[in-house]
Structure 1
Amino acid sequence: MALGTEGELTLTSRIRNTNSDGKPFTFTFAYHTYFSVSDISEVRVEGLETLDYLDNLKNRERFTEQGDAITFESEIDKIYLSTPTKIAILDHEKKRTFVIRKDGLADAVVWNPWDKKSKTISDLGDEDYKHFLCVEAAAIERPITLKPGEEWKGRLELSAVPSSYSSGQLDPKKVLE
């Protein structure tokens, strides 16, 4: 783990197969990152538009994202596939953008339990769902398999940058470059 001079947080994970029996080791992986947001209904996620995803609320049925950004008005639990190395979470009220950069992690999970499910989660208050969003760098669709002695490395960098909206939207090209 490293904290950069601009406040960016970098997490690097290494997993090595140390099996002495010659057997491969297979796993999936996700950094479970929760982002504090002003109001989930005012947040946009950019960088995942037009991608295929598996919807965990529909038995992992495969769909293609249709919007120009992901916005929130109900529970979401999706695994976006073959995602770019950069994803942005735009928070209009806080005038800030979280930038997620990732390596070695092809997928991204987007999750928020919304009101009904949040009432069933013991460590969440009934209204807490309004103030967080999970966007997780992950390797899920294609599990990682390591032969004995092989090592996998995954890296996640998180940063928050000030932003302002113009006509209700940020220019995603500036954030995602």
Structure 2
Amino acid sequence: MNLMVFCSFELRLRITLSASKLTLISRVRNTDNKPFSFTFALRNYLSVSDISEVRVEGLETLDYLDNLIHRERFTEQADAITFDGEVDRVYLSTPSKIAIIDHEKKRTFVLRKDGMPDAAMWNPWDKKAKALPDMGDEEYKSMLCVDSASIETPIVLKPFEEWKGYQELSTVSSSYCSGQLDPRKVLYGFH
């Protein structure tokens, strides 16, 4: 039996956009006299040159829930995440900065986040893309979702309490010739 519980809350989203940076600040305020909990994610559909040439750094050795295998928990074993098939995962207790490196475009997306400890990652690959009515059969090759999220542990707000989530998505040029990107510039923000 599903029991629907209604609660009163206020959601605010502040969006700031510049030539190379998108900032989203989310606020949820409990306007009710009883506590409530929720999960939250900001979905980022990233345009990439070729998904098989993309790598994600910053999630190494972390635990993740694999939605393709009934949310079974695994530990990431790769030095960096690369793609050769469908992926639908929630990485847990992630760092505040994640780098998505697009070799062909010589561009790196830098995802900075606060208040959202998890990161979701999704690409439907070929078979599932063909079944999605709003995605072209080959469009999976040029996209990747990497989301700021709070999924494993729901956010709990006491009456009249407020939660704030911060996400900044920026792009930096990267000459990825040696196979190594300077992690101080991407993951730590030093220039």
Give the TM-score normalised by the residue count of structure 2.
0.88
Runs of 4+ in 1 over 3 A off after TM superposition: none
Partner of 2:133: 122
1:1-177 map, 5 Å: 1-4=15-18, 7-19=20-32, 22-177=33-188
The separation in 1 between residues aligned to 2:59 and 2:182, in whole angstroms, is 15
Paired letter, 1:154: G
Partner of 2:5: none
2:23 partner SS: strand
C-alpha deviation, 1:174, in angstroms: 2.8
% same residue: 71
The separation in 2 between residues aligned to 1:3 and 1:127, in whole angstroms, is 29
The separation in 1 between residues aligned to 2:146 and 2:86, in whole angstroms, is 14
Q: Deviations over 1:19-70 (max 9, x none)?
A: 1xx3211110000110000000000000001000000001111000000000
Paired letter, 1:118: A
The separation in 1 between residues aligned to 2:152 and 2:54, in whole angstroms, is 26
Q: Deviations over 1:116-171 (max 9, x none)?
A: 10111100000000000000000000000111100000010010011011323323
1:119 partner SS: helix
The separation in 1 between residues aligned to 2:49 and 2:185, in whole angstroms, is 22
C-alpha deviation, 1:18, in angstroms: 0.6
Give the TM-score normalised by the residue count of structure 1.
0.95
Higher RCO by CA contacts (8 Å cutoff, separation 6 or greater): 1
The separation in 1 between residues aligned to 2:121 and 2:173, in whole angstroms, is 22
Paired letter, 1:84: P
Paired letter, 2:38: F
Report if the CA contact (8 A) 1:2-1:10 is conserved: yes
**Structure 2 stretches lacking a partner, 5+ long:** 1-14
Q: Which moved more, 1:164-173 or 1:95-104?
A: 164-173
1:70 partner SS: coil
**Structure 1 stretches lacking a partner, 5+ long:** none
Q: Deviations over 1:55-107 (max 9, x none)?
A: 00011110000000000000000100000000000000000000000010000
Paired letter, 1:123: D
Report if the CA contact (8 A) 1:46-1:172 is conserved: no
How many residue pairs match? The answer is 174
